[in-house]
Amino acid sequence: MLVYFLLDSSPEAEDCLKDLTGMQAGAGPDTEPLSESDMEYEAPNDGDYHSLADPEDGSIVHVHKDLLKRLEGEVDCEIARVKREQKQSQTRKATKRGLTLSCRLCPFFANTSDHRFRSVLNHLSKHHAKTKTETETGIHLGTGLYVASGTKQLRLIRALYDSDAMRADKKNDYLQRCAQLLRDLFQQPQSQCWLGIDRGIILVLGTAGPYYVARDSVRTMAYLRRGTRSFYYTQGFTNTVFNDMLLCCPRMKTIRAWAVRRASEAGNPLWHLYPTEVEAFFFLHACAWTLIRADVLEK
């Protein structure tokens, strides 16, 4: 939990704090279970947020309208770039074969055929749309909310957006930055048309905060413990939580706040990805931090 003290009540000071109201990646629980009928794109809860269901753990991902507008603008810019390159290629009256045209908004999507411009433009219009695109055969393309590679990419985008908002330095390249971060996770070249990256990465809670790793990284997976369906954590993170429990008599809200502070001080922009739910109600389901506490006490 972060506490801000307003020392100046002038209109200028209030304008400077407006960006803090857009925080979303760490706002509210993201572990609300859904039924199968709720796993598709949902209408906005209000005028400020749009929601998307995560098919992996049933949680709800909320996206602020300001971030959504920035993602829409980024998709439009990418479409304009591809069309501009297509026009330049036609002007030269010669299309070189073997050249690769990539979608900069996806970690792994490229085309090397003679129809590469048409293929990438078709990908941008169908996979990077605001809602999922349904084909004639009933297959849904894309994730929704202008993201093509899954809800994990959307969560990563939210974390980057919130980190920039904390510094009052919002940008317009979150899809490209997120795609590059996911691309750097893999040491080996991946398929040029791999859109299901959610199944290939996992969220890990470490001493310096959350981060993603490739699921097929055997050397890394050998040192991880399973938390819930949505994350793993390291031995160093367990030791840190244990030390915090000795100091605050396992009050999980305080432990989470200390973990967030350490990640922020370490310069980790993904500290917003820490699980937000710290209490289990009537033992109907165990939240993330309750499971971590139980595992620490057992081991």
pLDDT in tens, 171-191: 999 999 999 998 888 766 666
pLDDT in tens, 102-133: 899 998 888 777 788 989 999 999 889 888 88
Unique residue bearing structure tokens 């699980």: 275
- In the structure encoding, which two tokens stand for residue 54, read together? 């995560």
> Quick one: which of 127, 119, 113 has its CA closest to 75?
127
- What pLDDT does 42 receive? 42
The fraction of the chain above a pLDDT of 70, given in percent, is 73
Unique residue bearing structure tokens 């330049």: 88
In the predicted model, is pLDDT for residue 41 greater than 60?
A: no
pLDDT in tens, 249-277: 768 888 888 999 999 899 899 988 888 77
- What pLDDT does 281 receive? 46
Give the phi and the psi of residue 112 in degrees, each rounded to 5: -115, 5
Residue 44: pLDDT band with limits 50, 70, 90: very low
In the predicted model, is pLDDT for residue 214 greater than 90?
A: no
Q: Please give the Cα distance from 262 to 278 (Å, whole number).
A: 18
- What pLDDT does 19 receive? 58
Considering the entire predicted model, what is its pTM?
Answer: 0.74
DSSP H or E run through 11: helix 11-16
Residues 6+ apart with CB under 8 A from 7: 13
- Determine contact, residues 129/142, Cβ cutoff 8 Å: yes
